[in-house]
């Protein structure tokens, strides 16, 4: 049995936020789950993050509060935490934030998101993400399936970006299960908006297949879990973030590590698609996907 952990990166809304919306699943063979979960936990512990959620976007960014502290890197982890918490507290109180109460409120929300990582320098946070990525990449039978949608190329029609990406990821997972003679189950990050839609869609696919193929090897509708408690969902978040940053900013540090897990048939990386509609694209993902003569499809 394979468990597919699915998470998203980027904003689905076509009119705002990021240029891409990525939905990505990491398939783990169930017999590897225990050893992988424990390896990820041990790795997190070396960064004093054993019980923390690895939220890649928040860990990856620069913290100006830390950059304003003299010789920050030379401090011990407890000293760094104390010093950064003080800087955060001052700013959350409105010091140094120009503008409305709305901005202060947004900052308080941000400060809660970065709170678990304040004792780590940016280099340490990135090293932690890279080590987690390497742990995943070291497992021979872990596979990545993803759809990265270029939002300006998405035409609103029969489905939303989320639904199109979900169909694509599910189809690729099904194709992989067929070849490996295994069954699979899908586990999603809890998402109050998407949950009813995905459950309904999954039921439809179970009854009549996706646009591309019958769903014979996947059981149940997606299960929804709390990402803060599930390391594997955090890994899906890490991989989804890596793919989006590669496409949007050309940042390849993390994707270079996990790319080996992307599902392949021969030399073609069938598991990861960059959707740009009718617009041709020769990016690294499209080339690996065998795009060129053919437009993006579910091949
Ligand atoms: Zn491309």
Based on the domain organization, do 217 and 239 belong to the same domain? yes
Count the Cβ atoms, other than its own, within 10 Å of residue 190. Answer: 15
Based on the domain organization, do 185 and 227 belong to the same domain? yes
- Structural domain includes residue 293: no
Instruction: Identify the domain boundary among 132, 157, 190.
Output: 132
Based on the domain organization, do 248 and 272 belong to the same domain? yes
Average pLDDT of the residues of the chain: 92
Based on the domain organization, do 18 and 36 belong to the same domain? yes
- Taking the C-alpha atoms of residue 74 and residue 91, their distance in angstroms, rounded to an integer, is 23
**CA-based torsion, 67, 71, 74, 78: positive or negative:** negative
Based on the domain organization, do 117 and 174 belong to the same domain? no
pLDDT tens-place string over residues 127-168: 999 999 999 999 989 999 999 999 999 987 778 899 999 999
- CA of residue 282 to ligand 1 center, whole Å: 5
- Structural domain includes residue 47: no
- CA of residue 263 to ligand 1 center, whole Å: 17
DSSP assignment of 168-214: HHHHHHHHHHHHHT--EEEEEE--TTHHHHHHHHHHHHHHH--SS--
Based on the domain organization, do 223 and 193 belong to the same domain? yes
- What percentage of the chain has pLDDT greater than the value 70? 95
pTM given for the model = 0.93
- CA of residue 11 to ligand 1 center, whole Å: 19
Based on the domain organization, do 26 and 121 belong to the same domain? no
- CA of residue 294 to ligand 1 center, whole Å: 13
Based on the domain organization, do 20 and 167 belong to the same domain? yes
Instruction: Identify the domain boundary among 132, 150, 170.
Output: 132
Q: Are 150 and 276 in contact (CB under 8 A)?
A: yes
- CA of residue 281 to ligand 1 center, whole Å: 4
Total domains present in the chain: 2
- Structural domain includes residue 62: yes
| Structural domain containing residue 94 | 52-132
Instruction: Identify the domain boundary among 115, 132, 149.
Output: 132
Lowest mean pLDDT among 113-122, 219-228, 276-285: 219-228
CATH number of residue 254's parent domain: 3.30.420.10
- CA of residue 153 to ligand 1 center, whole Å: 11
Based on the domain organization, do 9 and 58 belong to the same domain? no
Based on the domain organization, do 184 and 207 belong to the same domain? yes
- CA of residue 213 to ligand 1 center, whole Å: 24
- Structural domain includes residue 296: no
- CA of residue 21 to ligand 1 center, whole Å: 13
- Structural domain includes residue 294: no
Based on the domain organization, do 178 and 242 belong to the same domain? yes
- CA of residue 285 to ligand 1 center, whole Å: 5
Based on the domain organization, do 264 and 117 belong to the same domain? no
Please say if the pLDDT value at position 293 is more than 80: no
- Taking the C-alpha atoms of residue 243 and residue 40, their distance in angstroms, rounded to an integer, is 20
- Structural domain includes residue 30: yes
Q: Are 260 and 248 in contact (CB under 8 A)?
A: no
pLDDT tens-place string over residues 191-243: 888 888 889 999 999 999 988 889 999 999 999 998 888 999 999 999 999 99
- CA of residue 228 to ligand 1 center, whole Å: 32
What contacts 24+ positions apart, CB below 8 Å, involve 65-69? 65/91, 66/118, 66/121, 66/122
Instruction: Output the pLDDT for position 292.
Output: 67
């Amino acid at each position: 049995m394979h468990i597919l952990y699915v998470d998203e990166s980027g904003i689905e809304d076509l009119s705002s936020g990021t240029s891409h919306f990525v939905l990505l699943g990491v398939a783990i063979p169930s017999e590897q789950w225990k050893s992988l979960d424990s390896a990820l936990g041990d790795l997190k512990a070396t960064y004093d993050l054993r019980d923390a959620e690895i939220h890649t976007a928040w860990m990856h960014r620069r913290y100006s509060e830390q950059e304003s502290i003299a010789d920050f890197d030379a401090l011990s982890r407890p000293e760094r935490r104390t010093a950064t918490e003080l800087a955060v507290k001052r700013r959350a109180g409105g010091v140094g934030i120009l503008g409305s109460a709305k901005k202060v409120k947004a900052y308080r929300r941000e400060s809660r998101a970065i709170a678990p990582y304040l004792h780590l320098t940016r280099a340490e946070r990135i090293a932690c993400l890279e080590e987690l990525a390497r742990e995943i990449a070291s497992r021979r039978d872990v596979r990545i399936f993803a759809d990265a949608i270029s939002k300006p190329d998405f035409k609103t029609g029969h489905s939303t970006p989320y639904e199109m990406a979900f169909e694509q990821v599910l189809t690729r997972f099904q194709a992989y299960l067929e070849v490996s003679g295994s069954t699979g189950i899908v586990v999603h990050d809890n998402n109050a908006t998407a949950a009813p839609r995905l459950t309904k869609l999954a039921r439809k696919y179970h009854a009549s297949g996706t646009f591309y193929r019958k769903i014979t090897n996947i059981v149940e509708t997606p299960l929804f879990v709390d990402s803060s408690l599930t390391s594997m969902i955090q890994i899906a978040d890490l991989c989804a973030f890596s793919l989006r940053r590669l496409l949007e900013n050309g940042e390849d540090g993390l994707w270079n590590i996990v790319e080996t897990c992307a599902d392949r048939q021969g030399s073609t990386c069938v598991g990861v698609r960059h959707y740009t509609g009718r617009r041709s694209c020769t990016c690294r993902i499209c080339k690996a996907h065998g795009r060129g003569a053919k437009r993006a499809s579910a091949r």
